[in-house]
Amino acid sequence: MTYILALDQGTSSTRSIVFDKLGRIVSLAQKEITQIYPQPGWVEHDPMEIWQTQLATAREAIAKAGLTASEIKAIGITNQRETTVVWHRKTGQPIHNAIVWQDRRAEPTCAELRENGFEPVIQDKTGLRIDAYFSGTKLKWILDHVPQARELARKGELAFGTIDSWLIWQLTKGDTHCTDVSNASRTMLFNVHSNLWDEDLLQALNIEPSLMPQVLPSAAEFGSVKADLLGHAIPICGVAGDQQSALFGQACFTEGMAKNTYGTGCFMLMHTGNKFEVSQNGLVTTSAAQTSAQTEFAMEGSVFVAGAVVQWMRDGLNAFKKSSEIEALAQSVPDSGGVMLVPAFTGLGAPYWKPDARGTITGLTRGSTMAHIARAALESIAYQSAGLLLAMSRDAVAAGSAPLTELRVDGGACVNDLLMQFQADLLGIPVVRPTMVETTALGAAYLAGLTSGVYESKEELSGLWQEERRFIPQLPASDAQALMQRWEHAIRQTCAE
């Protein structure tokens, strides 16, 4: 049997998973990482903690599998996207904490770009909207605020990267400074048509080109892990940002196929083939994981707070001790009793793009209980995702494509049957959960397997995908529409000045 190691560096934890050739999990190791909140709207991680937990879990996963590193054919890496690290090329030490994708501190820079008329230029070149979510303005903030950073950058002594680049640098001990197209496309600095860093955008944000990593296809050779780290040199053969990796792991390789990942946030992607389409409905266009130099695209909508609302109820409201307990609490009432929870803790993402919005709970009465709020919290994940799919369907129809007929789902919260059924009810199309819900890590393993010759083609990978359960809509369309109207009303209340 052939084995592939997937390194899955996420927002709340770092994991390493050993897969066999059939895409089955052989072993898994996981460590939570510290969330740092220096002030409201700011979110950071310690890059050294990310690196140390990734190395530790990789060693643990190989040991748990009863393997040695020499038996691992290749490594694939998938990562939280947009999270920004800058480090010294000589020492490999970061000059600041990693600024996490959820962080909003770069909003003033974004406002300046909008005022200077950059919105259409950035959308045409990168497929993205101007938002503090993306890496470019985070990088500018670090260069502007860390003493001597700009001077060191001018001398070529600093390196920038998203988490994939940071891990590759550490794993190869500085031999390789690179990223893949899917991560590069999330920086707001990358021209997705040419697959090159855009000189005009780098100049607009005053970013030295020497900071930037080399960009490769997602299935490529990214260097080798040094032998002393894992016991044997292993080639890194696949890299993709977590959402594009999940799209790949769900075998959504062709135009019109879509998936939604339910993690800390929610991320819905629909493959659009080789067609670059600018959304008219608040979505962004992004590079899909690419197995060659040929460009591939996806339409994407991002919900900033999804599973994180469950963590907030657990840690902020002390509503329960374990996140898994929310389903039983929510099911103890027949519905939310009119309560609506909009978890805009760090603003609202697609399709609203309201960076200043903050969370609200509306519809409370004397009869409202913690169970109703728990139900509303779970339902908020489905409402936000439904908003994305409706926007996506409008874009698809406008482009002359067929509307979606099913939605493939993955991520931690997709195991929640109550949530998945409510999602199907709101969408009016089947929600399909695969046997393997660890599709983010699986996508990275598949990409590494293609490069290293474990798999011959995408068709072979499509044959490995298996359905575990299909949730069929049970709510009349008129009722689903009425619920969505109530949700939009709650959104308007959240966004009211």
Q: At what angle do helices 107-115 and 135-145 cross, to 10 degrees?
A: 110
Strands 284-287 and 158-162, bridge-based pairing:
unpaired
Return d(Cα 66, Cα 226) in angstroms, integer: 21
Q: Check whether 43 has a pLDDT greater than 70.
A: yes
CA torsion 201-107-141-135 (nearest 10°) is -60
Q: What is the mean pLDDT of the chain?
A: 93
Amino acid at 101: W
pLDDT for res 305: 86
pLDDT for res 497: 54
Give me the mean pLDDT over the 250-261 stretch. Answer: 90
Q: In the CATH scheme, what is the homologous superfamily, with its name and number, of domain 3-241?
A: ATPase, nucleotide binding domain (3.30.420.40)
With a pLDDT cut of 70, the percent of the chain lying above it is: 100
pTM of the model: 0.88
pLDDT for res 397: 80
Q: Check whether 269 has a pLDDT greater than 60.
A: yes
pLDDT in tens, 169-215: 999 999 999 999 999 999 999 999 999 999 999 999 999 999 999 99
pLDDT in tens, 440-470: 999 999 999 999 999 999 999 999 999 999 9
Q: Is the CB of residue 86 less than 8 Å from the CB of residue 94? A: yes
pLDDT in tens, 379-419: 999 999 999 888 888 888 887 777 788 899 998 888 889 88
Top-confidence residue, 293 or 432: 432
Q: Check whether 367 has a pLDDT greater than 90.
A: yes
Matching residue, tokens 């929310």: 326
